[in-house]
Structure 1
Amino acid sequence: MTPMAPMNTVAAVMQLLVAAAFVSIPVVRHRFGPAAKAAAVAELRRQDVRPEVLEENKLRFDAGGHETAAPVTVAAVMAATAALNFAGADLAQLLTWIFSSLVLLMNAVIVYSNLTAVKSVEAAFRRKGDPELARVEVAPFLKAAEGAFPGWVRAQTYLRNTLVFGGSAVALAAVTLI
């Protein structure tokens, strides 16, 4: 181990912020997912689509399954890398380069997915092969689910993305300057 440099501390703090940002995803979904599902079910009924189609196709709005596992895993990896940076471990710089770069790329994919959600969900519904699911008007369906989240969640999403992109970039810059 080398003595901890100030840049290691900067990288570690940024990585902890990124970890917190990722943990916020399942927390918000856990808290407001049931309301989003209820709104989506109401929209399906309005469209004269059986709400059971969601369960039959394993479509969820809560924080179960990969909706929790993926962001919590990212948070754990970033926290572990932060701990190595705080400790001044020689491996910290390499792991920061690997994991912060991956997080930047993953978050870009997440943002793209959110921006193209209607088309992506329409395509996913068609791939499922369920004729009833294929009848869903996706735009109002997604709008109903999104509308069940409090208004501050949109601001939290922007803040989360800013923290992830900015924090990862600063962590990468910090370990470059070590």
Structure 2
Amino acid sequence: MHLLAAAAQLLVAAAFVSIPLVRHRFGPAAKAAAEAELRRQDVRPAVLAENGLRFDAGGHETAAPVAVAAVMTAVAALHLAAVGLATPLTWVFSSLVILMNVAIVHSNRTAVASVEKAFRRKGDPELARVEVAPFLRAAEDAFPGWVRLQTHVRHTLVFLGSAVALAAASLAG
């Protein structure tokens, strides 16, 4: 059971690492598309950088998923070594990963409203003028079509992998 828990946690880790990899590869195209949409809306593209808005894999867009992957990998290593602490750590971290993934899915589904709110909260009048739905659509459309499928697969792997890790850890005792 330890081996199954470890394998599931390593799949979850790989799923999280895929986030910054995709953003690193296609973020510049998404930024260019978003800036083109801003120009179409008669908004200066520089407003993004002036307000710290990015599409690449910098900052927390890399740090958070890599940290999650590192923790899941460490707990998987404890399972492979059959260390007793692996089971309670799996309960803690796999449960947190499920909750984080719920928050990510919710954020993706409510992106337009939350970005509109965030733009208003920034206090920049130019940023507040942005029509967010076409702005986000332009950025999203800059990613290849397979990225949308990869996102669904990633969420499925995270939910199922975490559930399998929890079940296997419970049985491993």
Question: How do residues 130-169 of structure 1 correspond to structure 2 at under 5 angstroms?
Answer: 130-169=124-163
Instruction: Give the aligned partner of residue 125 of structure 1.
Output: 119
| 1:74-100 deviation per Cα after TM superposition (whole angstroms, max 9, x unaligned) | 000000000000000010000000000
Q: 1:26 aligns with which of 17, 20, 23?
A: 20
**Once the 2 structures are TM-superposed, how far is the Cα of residue 124 of structure 1 from its aligned partner?**
0.3
Which amino acid in 2 is paired with 1:92? A
Is it true that 1:112 corresponds to 2:112 in the alignment? no
Normalised TM-score (structure 1): 0.96
Which amino acid in 2 is paired with 1:99? F
Instruction: Give the aligned partner of residue 40 of structure 2.
Output: 46
Q: 2:4 aligns with which of 10, 31, 36?
A: 10
Secondary structure of the structure 2 residue equivalent to 1:136: coil
Take 2:81 and 2:148, find their aligned partners in 1: how far apart are those partners? 36
Take 1:66 and 1:88, find their aligned partners in 2: how far apart are those partners? 32
**Once the 2 structures are TM-superposed, how far is the Cα of residue 176 of structure 1 from its aligned partner?**
1.1
Take 2:56 and 2:114, find their aligned partners in 1: how far apart are those partners? 19
**Once the 2 structures are TM-superposed, how far is the Cα of residue 177 of structure 1 from its aligned partner?**
1.2
**Once the 2 structures are TM-superposed, how far is the Cα of residue 136 of structure 1 from its aligned partner?**
0.1
Secondary structure of the structure 2 residue equivalent to 1:49: coil
Take 1:101 and 1:8, find their aligned partners in 2: how far apart are those partners? 17
Is it true that 1:84 corresponds to 2:78 in the alignment? yes
Any runs of at least 4 consecutive aligned residues in structure 1 with deviations exceeding 4 A, and if so which? none
The share of aligned pairs that are identical, in percent, is 78
Instruction: Give the aligned partner of residue 3 of structure 1.
Output: none
- Structure 2: segments with no counterpart, 5+ residues: none
Secondary structure of the structure 2 residue equivalent to 1:22: helix
Which amino acid in 2 is paired with 1:8? H
| 1:4-50 deviation per Cα after TM superposition (whole angstroms, max 9, x unaligned) | xxx11100000000000000000000000000000000000000000
Take 1:177 and 1:69, find their aligned partners in 2: how far apart are those partners? 32
**Once the 2 structures are TM-superposed, how far is the Cα of residue 174 of structure 1 from its aligned partner?**
0.7
| 1:118-140 deviation per Cα after TM superposition (whole angstroms, max 9, x unaligned) | 00000000000000000000000
Take 1:154 and 1:83, find their aligned partners in 2: how far apart are those partners? 31
Q: 2:68 aligns with which of 70, 74, 92?
A: 74
Question: How do residues 48-67 of structure 1 correspond to structure 2 at under 5 angstroms?
Answer: 48-67=42-61
Which amino acid in 2 is paired with 1:98? V
- Structure 1: segments with no counterpart, 5+ residues: 1-6
CA-based RMSD: 0.3
